[in-house]
Amino acid sequence: MKRLLKGARVVDPANGVDGRFDVLIDGERVARVAAEVPAAERAGAETLELKPEWIVCPGFIDMHVHLREPGQEHKETVATGTAAAVAGGFTAVACMPNTDPVNDNASVTKFIVERAAGAAARVYPIGAVTKKSAGEQLAEIADLRAAGCVALSDDGRPVSNALILRRALEYARMFDLAVIDHCEDPALKGEGVAHEGFVASVLGLRGIPAAAEEVMVYRDVALAEMTGGRVHIAHLSTRGALRVVREARARGIRVTCEVTPHHFTLTDERLNAPLSYDTNLKMNPPLREAADRDALVAGIADGTVDAIATDHAPHHYDEKHVEFDRAPFGIVGLETAVSLALDRLVQPGVIPVARLVELMSVNPARILRVPGGTLAPGAPADVTVLAPDVETTVDPGRFRSLSRNTPFAGWTLKGSVAATIVGGRVAYANTELLGLAGR
C-alpha cells in the first residue's frame, strides 16, 4: 500500500534536504520526496495530513537499550521495549547483551531475532565481547556477526583486560564491527554510587570519580590507535572524557561516542533536592557536575558527540524502592528522550533540527552499519514525525515500558512525537494529534 506524508517540513541531512516536501511511501520503502508528488504516483495513497510546524525525518535509532529478554521479563521484554521505543519516536533499537543468559553466542542472538520478528520496532542485537561478559575469553565473534549482531559490548561492565580489548578490536575490525565500551576503572569506581564531589560528600554517599571513566577512555583510544579498530564510548559523562575523544578524533583515531538525555539534562545537584536519595537518580555513570553537563551540551552542538542514546535500563519498582546504596543503577529512557532533546537542545537553539537527526538517526545507523538514517528513494520507510510545538507532560503511568523508573515524572516538555512509521507501517500514532486510533 501507499502512504503520503503531507504538508510537514522534511529534515533529511544525509541528502541535504530541509524544507516543505511531501513524502510518498510505497510498501516498505520510501518512493519519493517532492514538493508535489505527481497525481498518478500518489493515486490510492492513504494521506497523513501533517502540520507545517511538524518535522518528518528518517527514523530514530536508539543504539543503547536494555530489553531484558531473555531472563528478566518482569522488567521488560522485546515486545514491551519496542512498544516503548515506537511511542518514543524510535523505529529501531540496538539491545545490549547483558541478559540472562548473556548474548554471547549465536543461539541467544537467534532467540532475540525471532522475538523481534513481530515487534513494533526493528531490533539489532549487540553481542558480548567476552563469554558471559566475564572479561576473560573472547566470545565467538564471527558466529555472533553471522547470527545478526551489529556491534560488540560487555556493557554493564567494562572490558577491563587491555589485552582482551586489543584482541576484540582486531577481530571486530575484520567484520567492521564497533566495540562499544562501558568505560570505568573497576578499582577506581569501587563501591561508589554517586559522582565523587561536593554533593556526594554532603549526602554521605560513596563517590565515583570522573577519572574512573577517563582512564578507560584514554586506554580505549590508545588501543583503537594501535589496532585500527573502531571503539565507541557508551554513555560518555565527563568533560575530561569528552576532551580525550575530541583530541583523538582530531588525530584521525576511529573513536565515536554517545551521550544520554539524563547526562545532558541533569546534574548531581538533583540528589540534594528535597527528594534526595531518589533511586531514580542512581545510574552508572552517575549524574555529574554542572561543568560536565555543560561540556556535554557543547560537545553535542560542536559535533564531538556522535549520538544521543538512552541507555534505557528498566528496573521493577520493588527493586528500585530500596535504600540508595542497595538500588540497581539505571533508568528508563525510550519514552522521554526525544521530548528532552527537543525541549533542552532544539527549542533553546543549542542545535538545529538537522543536527538532532544526525545524532539520533544518521550517526547511529553509520556506527552500527545498519540501514536507515536517510529518506532517499528506495530506503526503508522508517520515519519519525516530530511535533516540536506540542507540549507533553511525562506520565510514567502511561508508559508502554514495563518499568517506570524515570526521574522525569511530571516534567512538562515542549516537543512531542506525532507518529512513528516502521517499514511503511504506522507503528505509533499520537491519537490526540493524528486521530489514527487502531491503524
- Contact footprint for Zn ion (CB under 5 A): 155, 182, 311
Output DSSP code: residue 45: P
Give the residue carrying C-alpha cell 545524532: 359
Alpha-carbon torsion angle 280, 286, 291, 293, nearest 10: -60
Q: Distance between CA atoms of 218 and 235, rounded to whole angstroms?
A: 15
Question: Taking a C-beta distance cutoff of 8 angstroms, is the pair 343, 290 a contact?
Answer: no
12 included as an active-site residue: no
CA neighbor of 152 nearest in space, from 162, 163, 138: 138
Catalytic-role residue among 181, 220, 311, 343: 311
What the block records as the C-alpha cell of 134 is: 566475564
Separation in Å, CA 376 to CA 25, 34, 57, 62, 263: 11, 11, 11, 21, 33
CB 366 to Zn ion: min, Å? 20
- For Zn ion, the nearest residue by Cβ is 182
State the minimum distance, in angstroms, from the CB of residue 364 to Zn ion: 15
Angle at alpha carbon of residue 340, lines to 258 and 247, rounded to 5°: 25
Strand partners, 122: 92
Contact 64, 234 (CB under 8 A): yes
Q: Give Cα 129 to chain centroid, integer Å.
A: 19
Q: Which residue, chain included where needed, has cell 542472538?
A: 109
Min dist. Cβ of residue 257 to Zn ion (A):
13
Choose between 284 and 392: whose C-beta lies nearer to Zn ion: 284
> Cβ closer to Zn ion: 234 or 419?
234
Question: What count of other Cβ atoms lies within 10 Å of the Cβ of residue 275?
Answer: 11
Minimum distance from CB of 284 to Zn ion (Å)? 6
Relative orientation angle of helices 106-116 and 78-87, to the nearest 10 degrees: 50
Taking the complex as a whole, how short is the minimal distance between the CB of residue 96 and Zn ion, in angstroms?
5
Query: Do 89 and 393 meet the contact criterion of CB atoms below 8 Å apart?
Result: no
Measured between alpha carbons, how far is 78 from 67 in angstroms, rounded to an integer? 6
Active-site annotation, residues: 311
